[in-house]
Every structure is written in structure tokens, then in C-alpha cells.
């Protein structure tokens, strides 16, 4: 029986990718490692980490763009007496 191919990382939400990554880490830390699966798990984990980092970077950029639109305008210099 073959295991279905995982969903491509770029099609996952951040939460889905993080959940899958946590499951892989849990399996590697607590289960008896399946030598045939370790390399695939590590490769998938690397793919998921890259995806999560990209999502964080994208979100950070979007937040900075939105916040920059709320920056107060510089105060006008006081009028001379």
C-alpha cells in the first residue's frame, strides 16, 4: 500500500503547515525512527519550515504596509510670532 503524496507546501495555510511540521517533529522525537521514512520526513520538514518562513515574511510586509499608512503626519512648525 502506498502513502498518498502530501499536499504541496505552497498550497497549505500557515496553520496547516505548522501542524504537519509539529507532527513530523513529534514522530522524530518520540517514535522509534523508521529508517526508510526519516530522510523523507526531514526533507518535508525543511520544505514546511521554508513555507512557514515565507508566510511570516509576507505577513510582516503586509502589516508594515498597512501600519505605515497610519503614521501621523509630521506636525507643522509653530508659526512665528
DSSP 2: P
3-state secondary structure of 1: coil
Reported confidence tier of residue 35, pLDDT bands at 50, 70, 90: confident
Q: Which residue has the higher pLDDT, 32 or 56?
A: 56
58-80: pLDDT as tens digits: 999 999 999 888 767 666 677 76
The pTM for the full model equals: 0.75
Give me the pLDDT at residue 3, please: 73
Q: Which residue has the higher pLDDT, 37 or 8?
A: 8
Domains of the chain: which residue ranges?
A: 9-67
DSSP codes joined into one string, 3-48:
PPPPPPGGGS-HHHHHHHHHHHHHHHHHSPP-HHHHHHHHHHHHHH
Amino acid at each position: 500500500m502506498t502513502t498518498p503524496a502530501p499536499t504541496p507546501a505552497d498550497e497549505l495555510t500557515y496553520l496547516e503547515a505548522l501542524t504537519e511540521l509539529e507532527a513530523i517533529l513529534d514522530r522524530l522525537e518520540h517514535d522509534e525512527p523508521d529508517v526508510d521514512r526519516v530522510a523523507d520526513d526531514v526533507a518535508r520538514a525543511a520544505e514546511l519550515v521554508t513555507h512557514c518562513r515565507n508566510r511570516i515574511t509576507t505577513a510582516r510586509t503586509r502589516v508594515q504596509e498597512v501600519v505605515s499608512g497610519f503614521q501621523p503626519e509630521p506636525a507643522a512648525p509653530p508659526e512665528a510670532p
